[in-house]
Structure 1
Amino acid sequence: MQPAIMIGGHEIKAGTRQLIHLSLPEFYTYAPTTMPIHIVHGRNPGPCLLVTSAVHGDEINGVEIIRRLLGHKSLERIKGTLILIPVVNVFGFVAQSRYLPDRRDLNRSFPGSPKGSMAARLANVLMSEIMPHCTHVIDLHTGAIARENLPQIRATLNGNQELIELAKAFNAPVVLASGLREGTFRKAAHDLGVPSLVYEAGEALRFDEVSIRAGVVGILNILSHLGMTRKRARRKEHQPLIAKSSQWVRASQSGVARSLVALGARVSVGDELAFISDPSGGHEEVVKSSVAGIVIGRTRLPLVHEGEAIFHIAKFSQTSEAAESIENFQDAFDPETDTVESEEPPVVS
């Protein structure tokens, strides 16, 4: 039997599940604020996986992913420890904002400081109270407001076989090699030697059923991969593919954009992606793809300025194979075509 763990003054004994609340700075109304944390502390020793959501307060798909995960029966006999934080940035979540009240980005404030800004103090709570227990991290994100992402894993691969296997085990359709950026939670975890993945899917302030379903299944895949739960049969409709690189296609002029390609579409060099015209319907330009690949992100807002990033395209060694895999993924997780029964009614957005 593994020993109990202490988090924020709470003792969590082996073989138990607890919901605890870590105290945070108060709102200026003096309303108390806490960070809710679910802990599943297995009877037998094993890895400790941390899953975080809403580090950006308006990125809420992860909140629903964690809610569904908590009800999954495979957690009843877990080895090791699973720590789930549905809302890290409580202040931004309440305000429906990416940022904290001081306009700082929490995901540029790690590892934080106990005497720094509000963002630094919140980051420090996560790093000092939670991270000392963790062996692996999955951080759940979405695109920004009016920007949607195809479900994808981002990680610092660099020949790191453990991370490559972890990223593939999640089984998102796309794995994007992504460098470390100072101040991010992923960079702070890396500095501690803790392997971490970022799951990007959907857009801010919106639930997306495909992204949610894929997120739940992906985390269950990781639990199985780490030996924390029984081996599960992986869905074989698609295989995750690692992108060589990615590139944004930008608006050639300001105006009103009419997109011609959907998320997940395969594009070639010279393909028409959008038309941009002025609001009076006058001068119009065609936005063409400067790269061959798969659309893994795009703006959903038709109003654009010159130079604005409007399509994110990932490049693969075998684009046709990637396109087929993504199409199979979409069929597998779309509630209208998914043949696997789900206890959860699909969210309609």
Structure 2
Amino acid sequence: MDYLPLAQALADQLHADGIPEHIASLFRRVPRHAFLPDVMWGDGRTRYDRAEDPDGWMRAAYSDQPLTTQVDDGAEGGPGIATSSSSAPSVMARMLTAARIEPGHRVMEIGTGTGYHAALLCELVGDIRVTTIEIDQEVADRAHSALIAEDYAPELVTADAEKLASIGDGRHHRIIATCQVAEIPEAWLVQLHARGRLITPWAPTPGAPAGVLAVLEDCGGDVQGRFEGSLAFMWARGQRRGGHMVPDVDAVPDRITHADGDPRTLLDGETGLLMSLLVPGWAHGMAMEPGASEPHVWAVSTRCGSWARMHPDGRVEQFGPRRLAEEFAGALTWWRGEGRPTVDDFGLTVTADGCRSVWLREPRAELWTLHAADHDDADDVG
């Protein structure tokens, strides 16, 4: 199958959806399929095998969907958890647009993956101005082969970008991370040029309902900026903390109330994302009670042993000094009183010593702050 009409259609759709032409045209010029493995997985775990269905595989390559290219960090016999992918083209285009890359800029990419995004950057500023970092040696080797085959030659470094000391003169005008983080690594701030821009998927903590696209500007060693909508990525390997204590279905609450309607909606979709920005220090998930037809949603504090379970029948069970469900309900009331601000009205400040503050509308209006020395605690400021 000729890929050119598919690439043209993809670029045209991106431009029609508001992506600037100079960014959309990159997706016309760089062949995405050249960076993808022969077997990959799309939305809904749909499997695409180039040998079995070459046309279907090629159409998937130019569809606007993320394509999983590695599971279980490449280990055999695992549960099939996606650990590397080619992001949806619209997401790549959105991040490139937010970066506002200009001619002459040096750009660092955190997370090479397939190498496709690095190739887009090479088209934008030239190979010599692109550095891309990949933690997984096997993934890096495949990306390097694909880049060379397509005549791209960025600087490709295999290393843990969270611990990277310096590359070159240690300053890049733009840093784009293709993995989600809660803690902005100091190593990234060290690499950022004065008045540079850092683009990263961010969430307050692993286990939050979703993430946001953080667009952060250098402010003399600190970085700060607003969020530009919701965005969920695979977590950076060093921040995949899944060790929060999940409340057992048999755990006995010390408070039971009943909500009007389904209390699970507090942590669902856009509302759940807002709760993660308004209420610090918690993670969540789903579980089934014996005999239940629908799962309940649980939330657990990352600051103490408190937890809450919210059931489809309206039951709200809580335990511990933090009444998480009541914190969520109170935050929702406060949000309505503030005029229902959108995600784009919130922002983040990260100081050089690792202190993180979420704010509403302007940096002085802090909602909460997490200090670098207190990774499991937060001060409510607003």
TM-score category (smaller protein)? 0.3 to 0.5
Q: TM-score, normalised by structure 2?
A: 0.30
Q: TM-score, normalised by structure 1?
A: 0.33
Structure ranking higher in helix proportion: 2
Higher gyration radius (CA): 2
